[in-house]
Amino acid sequence: MKEVNRVLLVDDDKDDQKFLKDALNDLFPNLECIAINNGKAALEFIESNPPPPQYIFLDLNMPFVNGFEFLREFKKEYNSSETTIYIYSTSSNGRDKEKAKILGADDYITKFSDFDSLKAKLKNIIH
């Protein structure tokens, strides 16, 4: 099993970034968590800092390039087997979930409001 060393958090909400980053850092203290505010900046970061991270947590509703647009561009440019992408959104809309799956997201997580529940979910999905 390959060690996870870098995770990208793509979300325009600073509070949601901090919440997710704190949970990841509690579970995996040596993990590098990079937070970026929108999909356009995330694509630019990945291009400038190869290889792509092993995990990406991606919000859907962001300025410039939203989560769906990010997925479309990322999947065109990179080997998707090396990166696991989780949509991390407040939306529980079935159409959003289906569209994310069609565009190549590995899973869809509705944002948690409880820190311990978030940590339990992250512990299950990151090895």
Stretch 3-10: mean pLDDT: 84
Check residue 110 and give its pLDDT: 92
The reply to whether omega before 29 is within 30° of 0 (cis) is no
CATH of region 6-125: 3.40.50.2300
Q: How far apart are CA 35 and CA 66, in angstroms?
A: 15
Handedness of CA 22, 12, 126, 112 (dihedral sign): positive
Cα–Cα distances in angstroms (integers) from residue 54 to residues 31, 63, 113, 126, 127, in the given order:
11, 24, 25, 10, 11
pTM to 2 decimals?
0.91
Confidence check: pLDDT of 120 > 90:
yes
Check residue 80 and give its pLDDT: 67
CA dihedral 112, 72, 28, 33 (to 10 degrees): -100
Residue ranges of the domains in the chain? Answer: 6-125
pLDDT tens digits, one per residue of 69-105: 999 999 998 876 789 999 999 988 999 999 999 999 9
The set of residues, in sequence order, having a beta carbon less than 8 Å from that of 95 and lying 6+ positions away, is none
